[in-house]
Structure 1
Amino acid sequence: MHSRCGGTSDAKDANEEVQKICDEIKSHAEDKTERKFDVFTAGSFKTQVVAGTNYFVKVHVGGDDYIHLRIYKSLPHAGSKLELHGVQTSKAHHDPIEYF
Structure 2
Amino acid sequence: MMPRGGLSEARPATEEIQKKVDQVKSQFQKKSNVECTEFKAESYKTQVVAGTIDYVKVHIGNNKYIHMKILEPLTHADNELELLDYQCDKTKDDELVYF
**TM beyond 0.5:** yes
Alignment gaps of 5+ in structure 2 = none
1:26 aligns with 2:25: yes
Larger mean CA deviation between 48-57 and 29-38 belongs to: 29-38
Q: Do 1:32 and 1:87's aligned partners in 2 also have CA atoms closer than 8 Å?
A: no
2-structure distance, mates of 1:35, 1:9: 28
Larger mean CA deviation between 64-73 and 79-88 belongs to: 79-88
What is the root-mean-square deviation of aligned Cα atoms in Å? 1.1
Structure 1 residue 64 displacement after superposition:
1.1
Deviations 1:22-55 (A, max 9, x none): 0000011111111231200000000000010000
The size of the alignment, in residue pairs, is 98
2-structure distance, mates of 1:7, 1:38: 33
1-structure distance, mates of 2:25, 2:2: 26
1-structure distance, mates of 2:21, 2:68: 8
Matched residue, 2:42: 43
Matched residue, 1:14: 13
1:69-88 matched pairs, under 5 angstroms: 69-75=68-74, 77-79=75-77, 80-88=79-87
Amino acid at match of 2:40: T
Structure 1 residue 3 displacement after superposition:
2.3
| TM-score with structure 2 setting the length | 0.94
| TM-score with structure 1 setting the length | 0.93
Percent of pairs with identical residues: 43
Deviations 1:46-74 (A, max 9, x none): 00000100000000000210000000001
1:97 aligns with 2:96: yes
Q: Do 1:71 and 1:85's aligned partners in 2 also have CA atoms closer than 8 Å?
A: yes
